[in-house]
Amino acid sequence: AAAPGGVKVIAIDPHAGNDRGPQELEGFQTEAVGDHEIFNSNLRAAGVADRVTHLRAFSDEALTEVTGSIEVLYIDGAHRYAPARTDIRDWGRRVTSGGTMLIHDSFSSVGVTLAIIRELMFGGRFRYVGRARSMTEYRADLPAGAGPRMRNAVRQMAQLPWFAKNLLVKVLLTLKLGRLLHRVTGREPEWPY
């Protein structure tokens, strides 16, 4: 709704019943039907159903269906390393100079974080702008030279303690040790996103 008139908004999601979340990699076709219905319902409720083109495809398949460059790219896909890396690398190439790439599950999901380390932490194109919880913002405007690249890498490395904390919370919750976590933090534990 905030995009100016004439701007193309494209959403890519297969709603295939896989990679829905932790421990939900395969076999959720029934839930996928509901996911697709909820997605369309949310578009209608927001009054943007006529402005958003939905490609019901996997992101690697949609690369050839979307033409031109991208000003704002939002990645919230599979949390495994290979698909996350492919999204960051292949779709990131399409972001215009000065454009923005937002990545969800950053420094929270192991696969997404490893993909960020491989593709962005020491890269020469995207500048790390910052993080709000597990949402990171990168801008395609990193100045040339070793100094800017090193500072950019250090700013991202500073997020690794938060990543380690998230991993610890996930391990404790997986081991059903949420009560221990509650005693230590004083808060009801929740799965970090």
The reported pTM is 0.86
pLDDT at site 110: 94
pLDDT at site 132: 96
pLDDT at site 69: 92
Cα 152 to the center of its chain, rounded Å: 19
Give every CB contact of residue 177 below 8 A, 6+ residues apart in sequence.
none
pLDDT at site 13: 87
Residue 86 tokens, joined: 């492919």
Q: What is the mean pLDDT of each run of 10 residues along the chain (193 residues)?
A: 78 75 61 84 91 89 92 89 95 96 94 97 97 96 97 98 92 87 82 79
